[in-house]
Amino acid sequence: MDIDPLELVADRDADANDQDTRAASGKRARHLNAAVAITVALLATFMGICKIKDDNIVQAMQQAQADKIDHWSFYQARNVRQEIAETTITQLKLQQAAQPPAQQAAWNEPIARYEALAKDQAAKKEELRKQAIADQATYDALNYRDDQFDLSDALLAIAISMLAVASLTQLPWLFFASLVPAGLGVLMGVAGLVGLHLHPDRITAWLS
């Protein structure tokens, strides 16, 4: 059997081209996997930092909610005391009016005492009302930042899922597409960390 030298050269060149193609493909796969691994590590680290801050914010929200409930409870107690004092004043004044003029002066001291009590309860009640409103404002401000962290966590989870698929399928375009939710997630996380006024109200309302 004759062997054509040209065929041998052609076969050798084809094998060399296949090897070069596989080598180039393997190099691209390694680069993509490395990029995916680094990106996932960075995003996971950022998510961990945001998680710590978000947990602290949730605890502060719970404390603000508890303070608000306590202040409104004390407000109601002060309100009841004020109403009782005012009712007592009315009864004392009616009883005073029914007394002879010479005895009416004796009723001035208890009436004045209950008037002072009613005034004191009204002032303390108003202070509690302001504190309860401040507690609600604190809760709302903290909830605003909690929403930012929640949205950041969701976007980064989507990005990591896309990165996993990109690594499995070796699709570079999917890697770059995953950077969109990743970037938005990092942006929302930074906004929550430093207190930026960045809040997608429509998306948050839809998810709530």
- The end-to-end CA distance of the chain, in Å, is 79
Question: Which of 5-9, 80-84, 148-152 is predicted least confidently?
Answer: 5-9
Q: How confident is the model at residue 195 (pLDDT cuts 50, 70, 90)?
A: confident
Q: How confident is the model at residue 30 (pLDDT cuts 50, 70, 90)?
A: confident
In this predicted structure, the answer to whether residue 67 has a pLDDT above a threshold of 80 is yes
3-state secondary structure of 113: helix
pLDDT in tens, 99-128: 888 888 888 898 999 999 999 999 999 999
Q: How confident is the model at residue 6 (pLDDT cuts 50, 70, 90)?
A: very low
Please give the average per-residue pLDDT across 28-50, as a whole number: 92
Please give the average per-residue pLDDT across 162-188, as a whole number: 93
78 near 124, Cβ under 8 Å?
Answer: yes
In this predicted structure, the answer to whether residue 16 has a pLDDT above a threshold of 50 is no
In this predicted structure, the answer to whether residue 9 has a pLDDT above a threshold of 90 is no
Q: How far apart, in Å, are the Cα atoms of 156 and each of 41, 134, 162, 170, 185?
A: 12, 33, 10, 20, 5
DSSP of 9-72: HHHHHHHHHHHHHHHHHHHHHHHHHHHHHHHHHHHHHHHHHHHHHHHHHHHHHHHHHHHHHHHH
Question: Which of 106-115, 127-136, 141-150, 197-206 is predicted least confidently?
Answer: 197-206
Please give the average per-residue pLDDT across 186-195, as a whole number: 92
Please give the average per-residue pLDDT across 192-204, as a whole number: 78
The Cα angle at residue 74 between residues 73 and 77, in degrees rounded to 5: 95
> Which of 132, 54, 137, 118 has its CA nearest to residue 80?
118
Q: How far apart, in Å, are the Cα atoms of 15 and each of 9, 18, 79, 137?
A: 10, 5, 93, 72
